[in-house]
């Protein structure tokens, strides 16, 4: 059971955190995780439904400070799977408003991740195999900086022209406007996990010879153009996040530094993102190639976030096998990250924040409907 309301906050996880004018009530945040459950065809394609409402509102009732709604495509062809959410029309906006309203009512900050899947688009729902969807099953032509398929069974993507690149930049900005209209207070640009922005960043997937390929400056151009376009339409008083794979785990396993995106480049980009108006870096790793050797373990990605924070001053959120209350508390208390983003642990335990408050003796307000279960009440 939760501690009484009058108990003072005395630990790091339950200290509020302010970015621009927005104050997030605690440092336990929900990472974006695809549900692959939207309508696939017709006028309601990409629209949230009762599953999404239940999924997100239960974590808000559980005390999560910030919820980042799953990767939401800026265009139909930008969806990871055929059943992903989208924000390319107003029907999708209207359907999201009840979710953002409920989250705010419960004191949770609603955020959303905007993305384009690039060469990893047009896939089946995860529990049906996750492979590419063929044209006869309403699959579509994928897009990428270079015509390099994700894996052997994936089709070759179409190489983007500079005009198409600019069109996608505009789609990110339009989706950010819709996110604001839907009631979100944080927007995160998805530049991680081998999706389109990450494909531009890594020399492994970007073989272009124009102004979008080759040098670090050219490979980061698209990411910064998207950030600038979104920041231009996103309110000055609301924060903008960027999610990155700090490494695609190729260079770390080879002597050839040309193989992939590196932690050093992540630090360089983080400094630029800060200059371009990004308020927090959500630091993950991997996803660019299907068979990278990744040395996983509890908190294995946290050092990448810590390095960005220490070397650039940009606030960071850590993610990746953070599953225990004391582990999460240590990460924030020691200054390794400004917040923790929980993924699978919040799928297992939607009330993780309430459990953490009990364990740490923190104040976490209960919904009035649950006051009968407060610890000062009779059992």
> Annotated active-site positions, please?
195
Which of 140, 164, 192 shows the shortest CA–CA distance to 34?
192
Which of 126, 100, 112 shows the shortest CA–CA distance to 73?
112
User: Which pair of tokens denotes residue 167?
Assistant: 């069109």
User: Which pair of tokens denotes residue 65?
Assistant: 């400070």
CB 114 within 8 A of CB 172: yes
Cα(340)–Cα(285) distance, rounded to whole angstroms? 15
CB half-sphere exposure, 302, CA atoms < 13 A: 22
Which of 13, 1, 6, 5 shows the shortest CA–CA distance to 325?
13
In the 8-state DSSP scheme, what is residue 372?
G
CB 340 within 8 A of CB 318: yes
Cα(14)–Cα(172) distance, rounded to whole angstroms? 33
């Amino acid at each position: 059971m939760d501690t009484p309301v009058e108990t003072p906050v005395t630990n790091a996880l339950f200290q509020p955190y302010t970015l621009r004018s927005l104050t997030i009530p605690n440092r336990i945040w929900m990472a974006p995780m695809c549900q692959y459950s939207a309508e696939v065809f017709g006028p309601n394609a990409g629209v949230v439904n009762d599953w999404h409402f239940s999924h997100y509102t239960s974590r808000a009732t559980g005390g999560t400070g910030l919820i980042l709604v799953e990767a939401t495509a800026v265009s139909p062809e930008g969806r990871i799977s055929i059943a992903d959410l989208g924000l390319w029309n107003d029907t999708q906006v209207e359907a999201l408003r009840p979710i953002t309203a409920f989250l705010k009512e419960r004191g949770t900050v609603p955020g959303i991740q905007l993305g384009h899947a690039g060469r990893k688009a047009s896939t089946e729902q995860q529990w049906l195999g996750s492979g590419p969807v063929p044209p006869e099953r309403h699959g579509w032509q994928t897009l990428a900086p270079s015509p390099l398929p994700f894996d052997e069974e994936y089709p070759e993507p179409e190489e983007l022209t500079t005009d198409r690149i600019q069109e996608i930049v505009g789609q990110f900005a339009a989706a950010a406007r819709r996110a604001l209209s839907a009631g979100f207070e944080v927007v995160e640009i998805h530049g991680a996990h081998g999706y389109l922005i990450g494909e531009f960043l890594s020399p492994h997937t970007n073989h272009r010879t124009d102004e979008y390929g080759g040098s670090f400056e050219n490979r980061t151009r698209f990411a910064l153009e998207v950030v600038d376009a979104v920041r231009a339409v996103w309110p000055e008083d609301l924060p903008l996040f960027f999610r990155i794979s700090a490494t695609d785990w190729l260079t770390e396993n080879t002597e050839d530094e040309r193989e992939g995106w590196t932690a050093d480049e992540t630090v360089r980009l983080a400094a630029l993102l800060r200059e371009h108006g990004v308020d927090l870096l959500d630091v993950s790793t991997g996803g660019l190639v299907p068979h990278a050797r990744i040395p996983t373990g509890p908190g294995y990605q946290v050092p990448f976030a810590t390095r960005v924070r220490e070397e650039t001053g940009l606030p960071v959120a850590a993610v990746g096998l953070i599953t225990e209350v004391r582990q999460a508390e240590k990460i924030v208390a020691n200054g390794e990250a400004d917040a923790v983003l929980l993924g699978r642990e919040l799928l297992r335990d939607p009330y993780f924040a309430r459990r953490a408050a009990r364990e740490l003796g923190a104040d976490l307000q209960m919904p009035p409907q649950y006051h009968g279960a407060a610890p000062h009440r009779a059992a």
